[in-house]
Amino acid sequence: MENLKETILKSLDGDNIDLLPYIPYLLQDLWEIGSSAEAIIGIIKKHNLYKQDTNSKILDLGCGKGAVSISLAKEFGFTVYGIDAVSDFIEEARNKAKEWNVEKLCEFQIGDIRESVHALREYDIIILGSIGPVLGNIEVTLQKLKKCILPAGNIIIDDAFIPIGSDFNHPDYLSENEFMAQINRSNFQIIDSSFINESNISEYDDSYRHIETRAKELMASYPAKKYLFEEYLKSQRVENEILENRVKCVTLLLKGK
């Protein structure tokens, strides 16, 4: 198992441990890191995944700065538990929850989700938003998460796969056939799926511009570490190219068979 620092960086498209202290600065202009809160709210409304008589319990793994969790608490009155390993992200999530007047509904904790999942139980919905294979491939991930949800619970997961007919290969992305086969082997079924559109792609470009601005500021402040920030910008460009042109990005609503 990779150490926690390596896992954090990999989920944020970095690979040099020395970069980690600068990640909060680089991403300071982004609240949504990964999943779209609007898209997830849309899925929940479409499939009526909320209880009329009592609050649903939501688990947001790799919650980042809490954008999805806080939006769900505000929209539906859900009780949300978010976990992320970056302490600055958790601090911002707590502050945002107060700003949105949902601090009584939201609990945010610093932690390693690879360890946390072993003890978490009886959630109505689990959110796993664009954090990559932190828990393993899709089959391993779903096997772990199945223990955390109620029998009638759902998982909403943002992921990506290499489409049929492509000659692209990457260790972090499964082929479409294998991706779907692993979901099936995990005894889950796809209730709904939503693929990326042009507006999502433009958001990648907007995010990159914000990160680039902050990277240039860091280069000016720490010229000896310029290479670190240049490497990160390069990794962001490479990942954006993959997401835009090489893989299919999808938000899935899953339910146990």
**Span 156-188, pLDDT tens digits:** 999 999 999 999 999 989 999 999 999 999 999
d(CA 166, CA 155): 28
pLDDT confidence band for 190 (50 / 70 / 90): very high
pLDDT of 243 higher than 60 = yes
Give the dihedral sign, CA 120/7/241/213. positive
Share of the chain above pLDDT 90, in %: 79
- Residue 147 neighbours by CB under 8 Å, 6+ apart: 117, 121
- Residue 20 neighbours by CB under 8 Å, 6+ apart: 5, 8, 9, 14
Range of the domain at 198: 4-256
Edge to edge, what strands does the sheet with 106-110 contain?
106-110, 79-84, 57-61, 123-129, 149-161, 248-256, 188-195
Higher-pLDDT residue of 15 and 81 is 81
Contact 75, 41 (CB under 8 A): yes
d(CA 93, CA 103): 10
* Amino acid letter for position 233: L
Task: Cite the beta strand spans of 135-178 per DSSP E.
Answer: 149-161
Q: How many domains does the chain have?
A: 1
Share of the chain above pLDDT 70, in %: 96
Looking at residue 15, what is its pLDDT? 85
Looking at residue 200, what is its pLDDT? 59
Looking at residue 3, what is its pLDDT? 86
For 50-92, write each residue's pLDDT tens digit.
876 568 999 999 999 999 999 999 999 999 999 999 999 999 9
Looking at residue 196, what is its pLDDT? 75
d(CA 253, CA 127): 10
pLDDT of 198 higher than 60 = no
Among residues 56, 59, 65, 120, which one has the least CA distance to residue 87? 65
Looking at residue 75, what is its pLDDT? 94
d(CA 133, CA 147): 18
- Give me the helices (H) in the chain, please: 4-11, 23-26, 37-46, 67-76, 87-99, 113-116, 138-146, 176-185, 198-221, 226-245
CATH code assigned at 24: 3.40.50.150
Higher-pLDDT residue of 223 and 13 is 223
For 131-149, write each residue's pLDDT tens digit.
888 999 999 999 999 999 9
